[in-house]
Every structure is written in structure tokens, then in C-alpha cells.
Amino acid sequence: MAEAGTERTERIIELLRERGARLTNARRAVIDALAMARSHLTADDLGVLVQQSAPDIHISTIYRTLDALEHLGLVDHVHLGHGRAIYHLTDQPHQHLVCEGCGAVVEVPDSTFAQLADQLRQGYSFTIRPSHFAVLGRCADCAGVGKIASDH
């Protein structure tokens, strides 16, 4: 278990205060968990993680915290299949490739989508929102496998 209160967490907390929000245990815990996570987390994942050190933090608080952090621009979420959303901090912008075979989330830099963004802006007057869509497909490991694994 990594140590809490990393520099990354502190930076986010500073932004939170700058933007006039209160710092609570729940918020620190959620930010911490997001900052330390190596992969992307669902609200439920966060609940489990946070409750390891603070069992009283209710899942509804996790949702409200994520909501608050998102309104503050500190967190963003991406919808995967099945209505689940994964959350991540906004301090390291990136896009998501989600494997339909194994569920793996691959992060790729925003720049990968620069040309697509241009194309859609020019052709359709549509402005894509960086960091907020997932591209579905199959990762290297799952590419060979014929069937699409249970997407529903």
C-alpha cells in the first residue's frame, strides 16, 4: 500500500481550495485513491479502496465527492459499457482505449486524436471533448480471439 499524501494529491487539493471548495476526509481519500491508482476506477472501486482506511465513508458520499470534484474540473469520467463509469484525475490528459475482450484500459496521449479532431471540426463542426470518450476495440492480446466477449 502506497503512502498517502503524495505530491500529486497535494497539488490537486491546492486547486480544490483555490476553487473555493472545502477539504473533507472523503475528498482527500478519493483524491488520494485516484492519484495512487495505476488503473482507472469505478465509483464502486473507489468505495472499496477508500473504505479500507475509512470504513464510514459511504458510497453515496463517493458519488457526491466525484460529482463535486468533476464540477471543480479536477476529475473526469468516461463511460464504459454497461453504464459503469470510470473516473480519473484531469491533471494528466489522455484518451482511453477500452478492450472489449478483457476490459483493459489503454491510455494514449491526446495528440493521437489531433487529426481526427481537426477532421471532425472541419467536416461536421463537431468539437470532440478530449479525455472524455473511450474508443472500443480489442487489445493485442485479445485481437486474435474471434468472439466479442460478453458486452451485455
Partner DNA sequence: ATCTTTGCAAACTTTTTGCACCAAT
Partner DNA sequence: ATTGGTGCAAAAAGTTTGCAAAGAT
Applying CB under 7 A, the span of 4-12, 76-84, 99-107, 112-120 interacting with DNA comes to 76-84
Closest-CA residue to 47 (of 32, 36, 61): 61
Closest-CA residue to 30 (of 16, 106, 18): 16
Q: For residue 30, give the amino acid letter.
A: V
Applying CB under 7 A, the span of 60-68, 105-113, 126-134, 138-146 interacting with DNA comes to 60-68
Closest-CA residue to 131 (of 94, 87, 92): 94
77 touches 85 (CB < 8 A) = yes
Q: How far is the CB of 58 from a second copy (least distance, A)?
A: 18
Nearer to DNA, 62 or 99 (CB): 62
Nearer to DNA, 129 or 152 (CB): 152
Closest-CA residue to 68 (of 95, 87, 93, 96): 87
Q: How far is the CB of 151 from DNA (least distance, A)?
A: 9
Binding residues (CB under 7 A) for DNA: these are 17, 21-27, 42-44, 54, 56-61, 63-65, 67-68, 82-85, 152
